[in-house]
Amino acid sequence: MNRKIVKLQGFNIDTFSMDEACEYILENRGQVVTINPEIIELGKKNEDLKIIINSAELVIPDGIGVQIGLKILGYKVKRIPGIVFARKILENSVSNNLRVALIGSKPEIIEKTVEKLKVEIPGINIVFSHDGYFKDDEKLFNDVINSSPDIVFFALGAPRQEECIYSIKKSLPKAIMIGVGGSFDVWSGNVQRAPEIYQNLGLEWLYRTVKEPKRLKRIFPTLPKFIFSVIKESWGKTC
Ligand code: UDP
């Protein structure tokens, strides 16, 4: 299977369906970025982050903002929620005999996440886990590499999780590595995902913002700024 990439604001985005994306990365391995308007806006100001994203082996459109942005440019692409994608990879790890490393979130959360995943995905082989508040990056990276994982999830928030993955990807060329944001908070049972109706309407961000108003600072003015830039990009395409 070959990648079918489109460009949004200078960033690569794959147009696979959820199942195709899953099949592609299980076969090809590498870094997966779950891209959203916030990361795009960060990447515009941070050339290193842009390089990381555009050299990732898979970039999935996580969230309604990117789906709308692509639609403005004339591409009909369905969003792939990163948390659902990452879970699917874990479920596939059992039949594929893959070793899993999980890094991120608060100590009690990662502990609970490991416990719950072992119950919910029988046979899962978690060979390494650590909270996300480590001070010595080099030591943590060496410990991850030495555990020889096939799947590595960093749940540190963007862009730190993407940077950590990029730092170790040369040492683990056969691993699937994903930055999974707040997924451990959900998998541990500590945070609830939005009710399905919000998810289906693409309004999970609204639900999370109402629950955690401090997110508002992150979303605004990023989202309107992003949409405005994409509209400008679409004018460039049609002129
Ligand atoms: N986190 C971490 N180390 C840090 C900062 C954050 O492990 O130094 C964790 C935090 O506990 C949370 C996750 O990173 O579990 C970030 O979640 P957020 O909801 O911000 O990510 P999003 O899903 O919005 O990308």
Do β-strands 176-179 and 151-155 pair in parallel, antiparallel, or remain unpaired?
parallel
Which phi and psi angles does 236 have, rounded to 5°? Answer: -60, -35
Atom of ligand 1 nearest to the CA of 132: 7
Tell whether omega for the bond before 149 is within 30 degrees of 0, i.e. cis.
no
pLDDT, residue 239, reads 56
For residue 170, the domain's CATH number is 3.40.50.2300
Give the binding-site residues of ligand 1, using a 6 Å CB cut-off.
104-106, 132-133, 155-158, 181-182, 184-185
Decide if 15 contacts 41 (C-beta within 8 A): no
pLDDT, residue 32, reads 98
How many domains is the chain partitioned into structurally? 1
pLDDT, residue 219, reads 78
pLDDT, residue 136, reads 98
pTM: 0.95
Cβ burial of 199 (10 Å; 0-12, 13-18, 19+) is: middle
Torsion-angle region of 202 (φ positive above 0: left; ψ -120 to 50: alpha; else: beta): left
* Domain range enclosing 129: 5-238
Substitution site in 60, 66, 103, 105 for ligand 1 pocket (most atoms within 8 Å of beta carbon): 105
pLDDT, residue 211, reads 87
pLDDT, residue 206, reads 87
Q: 159 C-alpha vs ligand 1 centroid, how far in Å?
A: 10
Q: 236 C-alpha vs ligand 1 centroid, how far in Å?
A: 36
Q: Whose CA is nearest to atom 19 of ligand 1?
A: 182
Q: Whose CA is nearest to atom 5 of ligand 1?
A: 156
Q: 182 C-alpha vs ligand 1 centroid, how far in Å?
A: 5
Q: Whose CA is nearest to atom 10 of ligand 1?
A: 105
Q: What is the pLDDT of residues 32-67, one digit of tens each?
A: 999 999 999 999 999 999 999 999 999 999 989 999
Q: 14 C-alpha vs ligand 1 centroid, how far in Å?
A: 24
List of the chain residues with pLDDT < 50: none
